[in-house]
Structure 1
């Protein structure tokens, strides 16, 4: 049997390991920087979307229906896009409801004016009927007095001619 010998250079392996460690550390620093920058960019984008959505909701709560949402926001397919589209639907429904209320109140005002005119006409007609009835009653009273006078004269002449 023989002894097998291997030439083992520990220093070169140590240098390779140090070099690998530096490369790994450099890659870690680069990735950490990229992730930090990406996180800041995405968090800013998300916070702007949240702010715009909450501003729009606040305006809706105060019944400001003149506000509008950008087409870009409405085209988004993420959660904020869904939220903004829902808020836009609420705004549109408010506007439609207010339009219906305006139309109904206009109809009520028109009907009220018609009822007022009809009431005024009815009041005039009732006044005329009352006046006519009063005239008829006065004439009937005059007729009754004339009839009574005639009856008294007839009775007076009848009693005088027979006596």
Structure 2
């Protein structure tokens, strides 16, 4: 749980959890987000930190569930960075929906547990604006052999 006072900003709450928003890079063949009306669609984000992918492999075979939960937290922080840039700051972000893709063994069954780590972070940082609809999906593989990828839809408050 966050140790920040309730009056802290979203950025301060994020920092209390040991995270800072990374710089958002330029997209190649696609954009990091697309706005349509009041909705911002954030492209899938992997668990990069300082340009390094923090893990590779299949959850339940190469990656433990607890490690995948940590990777999900990093991926969702990357989503928050894109969302904050799109709406003018982290305190203006309201999450509408999150899709969590987990590359796992066919019998894993822990996709929701992995996704819970990202959901918890959103609520700790954004409060009620972090509550969201969610889907956790098991897949055979993800880009760069990442164990986790997160996509989200948000709006500005």
Category of TM-score, reference length = shorter chain:
under 0.3
For normalisation by structure 2, the TM-score amounts to 0.22
- Higher helix proportion, which one? 1
Larger CA Rg, structure 1 vs 2: 1
> Which of structures 1 and 2 has the larger relative contact order (alpha carbons within 8 angstroms, sep 6+)?
2
Larger proportion of strand = 2
TM-score by length of 1: 0.21
